[in-house]
Structure 1
Amino acid sequence: MRFGLIGLAGLMTVGGVAVAQDTRFVKEPVIPASCVVLGAKLQAVKDHLADADEGKLDTERIQKAMDGCKTGQAVELKTMGESNAFLTGPLELRSGVTLLVDEGVTLYGSRDPKVYEMRLPDAKPGDPIKCGTSLPRPGQFGQEAGMAQVAGLRRGGCRPLISATNVTDAAIMGDGTIDGRGYAKLLGKDFSWWEMARKAEPKDDIYFSTRLLVASHADGLILYRVTLHNSPNFHVAVNQTNGFTAWGVHLLTPVDKTLDARNTDGIDPGSSTNVTIAHSWIDNGDDNIAIKANVKHMSVLDNHFYTGHGMSIGSEATGDEFILVDGLTEDHTTSGIRIKSNVTRGGYDHDLTYKNICMRGVKNPIAISPYYTNQTTEGFVDPGYTGTKIPDYKKIRLENIYATTPGDVLIAGLNDDHRTEITLKGVQVAGITAAQTHLAFVDIALEGAGSNLNLTGGKGVKVTGVAEGKGGSTDACANVFVPMR
């Protein structure tokens, strides 16, 4: 068994789980030569820009450089003397062009919501700016018409800081930082992006916020070594893309741990195929990785998670298949292995493999749930929602899974017609009590090394196979927990 970095050989795993991975041959990216070098004109002191610099946007010169760069080359952002910062509004990546952020450089997002405004097709002159505002949510939780209306309104609110739309082989690379400044007061407002999000939470109001990177139809997109800080909302959302690689990415939000950063997911792929997230470090204010609907052939290899809600599938969980998570440490995430959905947004998901995972300080090491209620962690009973999009989880495999501290485990199907199927091989949660294992409508196959979960309780639980011994020890995780980089 291995933990830690597996290197390129790990991307070529063969045997029974080979089909559960990105089908590409994925190797460490290479930074291309630069077509142009842009020097910084601003100076950040203690990671903050002076108020007098807030209007000095670099958007136009960065975008012009990317528009004119040849395929296979990079636009390089570089320090100049004591100048170490760029300030930008929305940027659009171009096919074959890399945005290269050098070490020591920070590319800051503007805190002016007006520069992000995305107008709806029926917008009229003089209509108010939506970006940086909130409003009551139409409809009730789970009503499809209301949710569709919300999606349309949100798309009409804010453009992302960086977008990759209808491009191929675009990239963001380098050892510098992109900082969305979710903590900073918006120009003309008395609140920050994060404060707006938290204020909207009690009544589930809609709020219009920018994201750090949104990609759609961006085949071959690469993130390499770059650091992402303080996103106002999701950090990376990738959709309708064949071939996305995040390698050696460092994601930290909030940087100041005294602050509160709601809904700041790390990396969220959806409706995409051939995805690899490898050798990355993710510490954020929501799901570390959240796999949305219709993701196929995805590899999550040798990553480190810290603050966040864990390695998630859902809540829009349907059509996800052939997913491999191999070599992961989760250090004080709220959940570890998390599959979350309910009858308003679920469906058929299968061939989901989790191997060689170490956790500590995790409240719910395993949460495979059809009971999602939009909370940080899952409840253990059916909330009684009505709907026809019923979660149906099949061919889940957990192998060499270790939690070094106690926590609750939930493995459930919704009913006898939608039973969860799972194989357990060497699953150990230190100090877990019988009452902390919550099972319902689940078919459990035991294989090889044993598990210390209580498999005798719950409604509709069927267990087959015989475990060989007590399984491995959580001592296997003794040296794998390391500080965030």
Structure 2
Amino acid sequence: MNIDRRACLKLFGQSAAVVGIASFSGCKTLNLANAKYTYQGQALAIRNRIIAPSFPDYAMSITELGAKPGFENDSSEAIRQTIAKVVSAGGGTVVVPAGEFYTGPVHLESNINFHIAKGAVLHFYPEPERYKPYVFTRWEGTELMGLSPLIYAYKKTNVAITGKGILEGGGSEQHWWPWKGPWKKSTWGDDPIENQKFTRDVLREMAEQELPVAQRVFKNNYLRPPFIQPYACINVLIEGVTIKNSPFWLVNPVLCKNVTVRNIHCDSHGPNSDGCDPEACTDVLIENCIFDTGDDCIAIKSGRNADGRRVGQPCENILINNCQMRSGHGGVVIGSEISGGVRNLYAQNCEMSSPDLDRGIRIKTNSIRGGHLKNLNYRDIRIGQVKEAVVINFYYEEGDVGKFTPVLEDINIENLYVEHATRAFSLRGYPHTPITGVSIKNLTILKVDKASIIENVATIKQENIMINGKKVLITNG
């Protein structure tokens, strides 16, 4: 298969010349059969496999079956009936037109494009009882029968959420978020009963004891639901929408294949407001998105502890391209629920910057979670302001108290440019399992305020690392 220069630029953006794509065997004659082991060949192969679903021309507005704007007008049943009618017609598009509509959870079916039109705001009532009966879901990487995600699809094929409208999750200091418990400097979240800790801790023990998922049910469940969760679906598209004030993680495809997330705007600053968390998925494209979040912007996951190892599905073949990361705990993150492993990640052409961006590139795990992390590639990333540029932490949360030590293999960071970082690196391996398998090339940080933290790093291939105008070498502190 040959591709021309125009196709190269479409994939790799204006930085193509920087990374030498145009001169790689002459981009005009790049042959994937010969280049399958190169960065360019592998990234392009992932893109070529990922094809967004298409839908029949048939479309129906939710107003045709009685949906009306306004808080007092519950559109839940009209949305459900509209989806059912479009399914009976062979599939197509369910339209939420301009206006402010209110609903409970939305469950998508196969061959349904749920379209939020420009000028539409779809509010989800922040009333937990509406999100029952419980569904098969995951919460922080552990399976259970839990509150329905706000938009949910289970074992469906060809599902989409599209449009230029707004999805409003209703998370706030009064609703959903207080279940987190004490958070930052908030004055809410101290309720001794309505606190996720009491459900979470029991759930995690159930998973360690390998209790069947059907029995992981709680009469009083205080685990906040994710906003959008397609679960075990094939051919998923999430495009164009703005997602605001999520109860929990915003976009969380789990065990899905062929996932496209593009041109979305994630704007949520509550606890655990991760932007996009593909979990144990295969073939994922995240492109041209904006993340302004209260937690990780993008976090790649594959299940937590015993549950992640039981399911045993890595998150693999992921292409992140041309995204913007603003505030958040991390820009492109691996973990922490990573027990199933991650392989074949390509993150490129991204821009990050905010006084509230804690980390740029981040890998977080520990010896309870473990995980084999292989072939992770970060290239052509620009960061304006960040607290820590590159973080690899084997001590995340529980530290070193387990028997599943993380394995890093073929981790590559190239062409990373940072204007201002409080700290360049925080690399913390174990004395018995130091960090290995990392390569850093062409990294420039114009201004750094504090010394890096380097603990138990065995070997890092490094070339042309410039910090504060001086060439440096990463060595154990």
TM-score bucket of the superposed structures, by smaller chain: 0.7 to 0.9
1:59-458 correspondence runs (5 A) = 59-69=76-86, 70-71=89-90, 73-79=92-98, 84-119=99-134, 151=142, 155-183=144-172, 191-199=174-182, 204-206=197-199, 207-254=222-269, 261-293=270-302, 294-310=314-330, 311-318=332-339, 319-332=341-354, 333-373=357-397, 383=399, 385-408=400-423, 409-415=425-431, 417-432=433-448, 435-447=451-463, 449-452=464-467, 454-455=472-473, 457-458=475-476
Q: 2: distance between equivalents of 1:323 and 1:232?
A: 28
Aligned residues: CA RMSD: 3.0
Judge which range, 396-405 or 194-203, deviates more.
Answer: 194-203
**Secondary structure at the counterpart of residue 268 of structure 1:** coil
**Secondary structure at the counterpart of residue 405 of structure 1:** strand
Offset at residue 328 of structure 1 (A):
0.9
Q: 2: distance between equivalents of 1:407 and 1:362?
A: 7
Contact 1:412 1:442 in 2 (8 A): no
Superposed CA offset, 1:11-47 (max 9, x none): 9986411325662524788786342123395556xxx
Superposed CA offset, 1:230-277 (max 9, x none): 1111111111111111010111114xxxxxx11111111111110000
**Secondary structure at the counterpart of residue 458 of structure 2:** strand
Offset at residue 167 of structure 1 (A):
0.5
Offset at residue 359 of structure 1 (A):
1.2
Superposed CA offset, 1:200-254 (max 9, x none): 7789454322221111111110001111111111111111111111010111114
Contact 2:131 2:148 in 1 (8 A): yes
Matched residue, 2:203: none
Superposed CA offset, 1:352-372 (max 9, x none): 000111112211110011111
Letter in 2 for 1:173: T
Higher share in helix: 2
Contact 2:379 2:413 in 1 (8 A): yes
Matched residue, 1:137: none
Contact 2:54 2:158 in 1 (8 A): no
Query: Would you say 1:9 and 2:15 are equivalent positions?
Result: no
Q: 2: distance between equivalents of 1:100 and 1:389?
A: 43
**Structure 1: where are the runs of 5+ without partners?**
1-5, 122-146, 185-190, 255-260, 375-382, 460-485
Q: 2: distance between equivalents of 1:400 and 1:31?
A: 40
**Structure 2: where are the runs of 5+ without partners?**
1-7, 22-31, 184-188, 200-221, 303-313
Give the structure-2-normalised TM-score.
Answer: 0.75
Kindly, what percent of the aligned residue pairs are identical?
24
Matched residue, 2:74: 57
Offset at residue 150 of structure 1 (A):
10
Offset at residue 430 of structure 1 (A):
2.1
Q: 2: distance between equivalents of 1:149 and 1:367?
A: 21
Matched residue, 1:19: 42
Give the structure-1-normalised TM-score.
Answer: 0.74
Letter in 2 for 1:273: T
Superposed CA offset, 1:360-393 (max 9, x none): 221111001111127xxxxxxxx4x311111111
Superposed CA offset, 1:94-143 (max 9, x none): 1111001100001110122111124499xxxxxxxxxxxxxxxxxxxxxx
Matched residue, 1:138: none
